Structure formats: structure tokens, C-alpha cells
Amino acid sequence: MKLITNQTGLKGIIEVPGDKSISHRSIMFGALAEGKTRIHHFLEAEDCLSTIDVFQKLGVKIERLDSEVVVHGVGGFQGLKRPMSDLYVGNSGTTIRLLMGILAGASFDAVLTGDDSIQKRPMNRVSKPLEQMGARIETKDNAGFAPVRLHGGNQLSSIHYEMPVASAQVKSAILFAALQADGETVIHEKEKTRNHTEEMIRLFGGEIHEEGLTVRLSGNQRFTGQEVLVPGDISSAAFFIALGLLVPDSSVCLTNVGLNPTRTGILDVVEAMGGKLTKEASTFSGTIQVETSNLQGMTIEGALIPRLIDELPIIALLATQAEGETIIRDAEELKVKETNRIDAVAKELAKMGADITPTEDGLIIRGKTPLHGAKVTSYGDHRIGMMLQIAALLVKEGEVELEKAEAVAVSYPNFFEVIKSLIG
Ligand code: SPQ
């Protein structure tokens, strides 16, 4: 696909689609609750539709109406039904990993699998703690990858778990299993990761304690159906934040963006880089306004990384246009996303003229490099594809041809149309 290049003066107001992490979890908790759950501003993108599909196969009635999704809860884990076929999650890591926790204590066997990318992402980070809780899980050739077979009929027990990686998906899978176990589970995180599962447990009437890096949860809780209002996804907003900052003479306003503090690392980075960004927050969401800015390179590391892990590809693009050097470290998790995002970002931006070096746990980017036309690929990774379209807007000469552009539908189906709507 030929990308849009060479733009100036992009202005507009955008409401980004619903948060992907919250949309997945609202289906999951809605399914496990008693009664109806109504979800507003649900993300109608491939990943979240995979979650709907899987829960329908598990016997949950889910209706997709014009402005909402309605989930008819089955009233607990034991209300889920044996699926008639393998459960296919497409490209969605969140779906497969959280589902492993949800089905860890089921009375039936289930096989979970997904596309080529899913079959290359590590599942043993989830199966290991679940096995310690009493689950029986087989991964393909015992190598820790999907397809994953969960054996039914196991009584789960609570666990005290020290997380070896900073991962909300691992934490969430353990929390779902802990809800089926007797006693209290205690998880100690390596760094604080997104807490949407914890927030959902509270929203659906359950009890969970978060204190610093420690999360405590007791089993056998009951949930009641709720009205869920999904805020806009800050990870999708990030692409338009970058567009507003980088494209000359631009200003962009993003409305109803989710501002959970475990996700707002990108805003802290933009401010530290000297970006002109203002934010007006209400309780859960807010409006973000950005204008074209002169940015300064910086070091991004440590506890900040999980708060912006999915935004690192677009932050790398910001760094190519900033004054001085940007160092991203402690981000080895990028290697096990939809693709190896360290390599993908370095290779594709270098093709466009960026001065960027991949490292074991991040990237070193020397700024103020003009970008030029090139033939690039998303590697089938939605976030790489969207980052490359924003990069193309800065290209003054030559064309940018993107392979596997369709990947953006995983989290932002009308992304290219929104870009077009800002032109003129
Ligand atoms: O769901 P998936 O494919 O893992 O999606 C990604 C993304 O870029 O959209 C990661 F590739 O987001 C993850 C995120 O990186 C979503 C997520 C969640 O909803 O719990 C948590 C993060 O992953 P992890 O492995 O750090 O827990």
C-alpha cells in the first residue's frame, strides 16, 4: 500500500477507538458475572472480536448491537461450556494468555491457538505459574508455544508468586486462576504493569488489594453484570500525539482518552522531551491537545517502560526528529510482541534514513535525521504499520510503500481514513 507522505498543517479533533485491554477484559468479566453486562465504546477491532468469538464458543451469549455489546453472564467459571472446536485467538496475545488463566480450573479440556505470530510468542511465562497452582498444561512440543492444551478437572490452589517479567498478561492470568482457588494469592510484580484486571474486579463487585508492587486476591468471589464505559485507547492516541508533534504547523485534539496512570508513560516522555502537550482530565479519561514542537532526546528506562511498552515504536520515531540522542533500555519485552519490535523499528526506520541502533534491551537513536521514501513492512504488526504511516507523513521526497498494511485492523480498523480526514 502507498502511504500518505509530505504533509504540513494537519489539524483536527479525533476520538480514538475504545481501549483494547479494557475491551477484552469487559467481555471476560461480563461472561463470568451474573446477569447482563452492557459495554459502550467497545473496540470493534480484530483482537477484541477474537475474544468475543472465543467466549461465544465457550457458551456465552454475546450480542453486538449498534452502539453497545451485551454480554449475558454465565454466573461463574463453572458456567462456561466445553467448546466444540479449538479456540482460535487470531493475533491476540491478551486473549490467549488471559484465557489460559480463565480455563485453568475448567472441568473440560480446551486447545488454544492463534496465527503465526501467536505461535511464536512465549506461553510458558503463563503456564509455569498456573501449573504451580495445579493446572495441567501442554505446550507445542513442550517448548512453551501455542497450540496450548489445557487439561480439565483440576482443583487450583492459591500461590505466592514473584514475577520474573513485568507483564500484565501474566499477572492477569494468575489473577483469573486465583479467583478459582481457595485461599489468598499474592503476586509481587517486578515493575508495576497496567492494572485493568484489578480495576475490573472492583467494578464487577469483587475485592482485590494493590499496594505498591504487591497484589492480593482471595478466591471464590462472585461478580455482577455492569454497565462498562470503555475510554479511548491511549496506545492508539499515541500515533496522533506523534503526528501533532512532528508534522510542521499541526495541532491535534484527542478526546475521551483513557488516563489510567499505569498507561500514561507516553505523556510523561512527551513532556520531558519538551513537547507542547496539554491535558484536561476527568476521573478516568481526558482531552489531550498537542502542537508541533521542537523535541529533545532523553533516556527512557526502568519503571517507566511498562507504562509505555506499546508506545515505544512511535516514541522511537519521535526520537529520530529530536535534538540529540535518545536511549531506550530495559525494554527486552519488545522482542516478544507481535514481532520483535526492537529489530522491526530499527530496520524499517533505518530504511527511511533514521540513525538508529538496536541493542539487547532497546534502541539508541540519534535525532534530527530527515526521512526519505522507502519500501517498508509492518511484519504483520499493527503498531509498526501505524508508526510507519506517521513516519511517511514527514517524508518530503520519494514514496513510501508499506507491505502488510492490513495489520492495523488488529487495533485500529479505520486508522488510514482518520489520517486522510486530517488532510485539507
Ligand atoms: O494482546 P497483545 O497482542 O499482546 O497486544 C499488545 C499490543 O501492542 O497491542 C502487545 F503486543 O499489548 C499488550 C501489552 O504489551 C496488551 C496487554 C494487556 O492487555 O494486558 C499487556 C501488555 O503485554 P504484557 O506482555 O506486557 O503483559
Ligand 1 in contact with 236 (CB < 6 A)? Answer: no
Cα-based distances in Å from 252 to 230, 239, 259, 278: 22, 11, 17, 11
Q: Domain end: 165, 187, 217, which one?
A: 217
270/311 Cα distance (integer angstroms): 11
Burial (CB < 10 A; 0-12, 13-18, 19+), residue 124, is middle
Mean pLDDT of 59-85: 97
Asked if residue 282 and residue 144 are part of one domain, the reply reads: no
Q: Domain end: 193, 217, 241, which one?
A: 217
Active-site pick, 109, 310, 355, 361? 310
Asked if residue 173 and residue 123 are part of one domain, the reply reads: yes
Ligand 1 in contact with 92 (CB < 6 A)? Answer: yes
Ligand 1 in contact with 310 (CB < 6 A)? Answer: yes
* Mutation test residue for ligand 1: of 337, 340, 386, the one with most atoms within 8 Å of CB: 337
- The pLDDT-based confidence of 261 (bands split at 50, 70, 90) is very high
- The pLDDT-based confidence of 424 (bands split at 50, 70, 90) is confident
Asked if residue 180 and residue 274 are part of one domain, the reply reads: no
Task: Read off the pLDDT of residues 336-359 as tens digits, 9 standing for 90 and up.
Answer: 999 999 999 999 999 999 999 999
Q: Residue 25 pLDDT > 80, yes or no?
A: yes
Q: Give the distance (Å) from ligand 1 centre to CA of residue 198.
A: 16
Kindly give the number of the ligand 1 atom that is closest to the alpha carbon of 20: 19
Mean pLDDT of 192-201: 98
Q: Which domain holds residue 337?
A: 11-17+232-421
Task: Read off the pLDDT of residues 114-140 as tens digits, 9 standing for 90 and up.
Answer: 999 999 999 999 999 999 999 999 999
Among all chains, which residue has been given the C-alpha cell 454497565?
227
373/396 Cα distance (integer angstroms): 8
Task: Read off the pLDDT of residues 34-64 as tens digits, 9 standing for 90 and up.
Answer: 999 999 999 999 999 999 999 999 999 999 9
Domain presence at residue 171? yes
CATH of the domain at 401: 3.65.10.10
Mean pLDDT of 189-207: 98
Domain presence at residue 4? no
Q: Is-catalytic flag, 310? A: yes
Q: Structural domain tally of the chain?
A: 2
Q: Give the distance (Å) from ligand 1 centre to CA of residue 336.
A: 10
47/43 Cα distance (integer angstroms): 9
Per-residue pLDDT, 283:
77
Ligand 1 in contact with 292 (CB < 6 A)? Answer: no
Are 22 and 196 in contact by the 8 Å Cβ rule? The answer is yes
Task: Give the cell for residue 186.
Answer: 499474592
Task: Give the cell for residue 47.
Answer: 483482537
* Mutation test residue for ligand 1: of 199, 309, 341, the one with most atoms within 8 Å of CB: 309
146 CA to centre of own chain: 19
Longest dimension (CA), the chain: 63
Mean pLDDT of 106-121: 98
Are 143 and 119 in contact by the 8 Å Cβ rule? The answer is no
Q: Give the distance (Å) from ligand 1 centre to CA of residue 333.
A: 10
Asked if residue 298 and residue 158 are part of one domain, the reply reads: no
Per-residue pLDDT, 284:
81
Q: Quote the mean pLDDT of the chain.
A: 98
Atom 15 of ligand 1, residue of closest alpha carbon? 310
Task: Give the cell for residue 375.
Answer: 519500501
Domain presence at residue 346? yes
Decide: helix, strand or coil at residue 99. Answer: helix
Task: Give the cell for residue 309.
Answer: 511498552
Asked if residue 243 and residue 168 are part of one domain, the reply reads: no
Domain presence at residue 120? yes
Asked if residue 82 and residue 46 are part of one domain, the reply reads: yes
One-letter amino acid at 302 equals G
Ligand 1 in contact with 309 (CB < 6 A)? Answer: yes
Q: What size, in residues, is the chain? A: 424
| Angle, vertex CA 193, rays to CA 322 and CA 288, nearest 5 | 50
The reported pTM is: 0.98
- The pLDDT-based confidence of 282 (bands split at 50, 70, 90) is confident
Cα-based distances in Å from 376 to 314, 352, 390, 404: 15, 8, 13, 9
Atom 24 of ligand 1, residue of closest alpha carbon? 167
Asked if residue 52 and residue 192 are part of one domain, the reply reads: yes
Task: Read off the pLDDT of residues 384-415 as tens digits, 9 standing for 90 and up.
Answer: 999 999 999 999 999 999 999 999 999 999 99
Q: Residue 202: which of 226, 178, 169 has the closest Cα?
A: 226
Mean pLDDT of 285-312: 98
Q: Give the distance (Å) from ligand 1 centre to CA of residue 139.
A: 20
Task: Read off the pLDDT of residues 228-252 as tens digits, 9 standing for 90 and up.
Answer: 999 999 999 999 999 999 999 999 9
Q: Give the distance (Å) from ligand 1 centre to CA of residue 360.
A: 20
Other beta carbons less than 10 A from residue 212's beta carbon:
8
Burial readout 42-57 (b: 16 or more C-beta within 10 A, e: otherwise): bbebbbbbbbbbbbeb
One-letter amino acid at 370 equals P
Which ranges in 233-331 belong to alpha helices (H)?
Answer: 234-246, 265-272, 312-320
Q: Give the distance (Å) from ligand 1 centre to CA of residue 331.
A: 13
Asked if residue 178 and residue 118 are part of one domain, the reply reads: yes
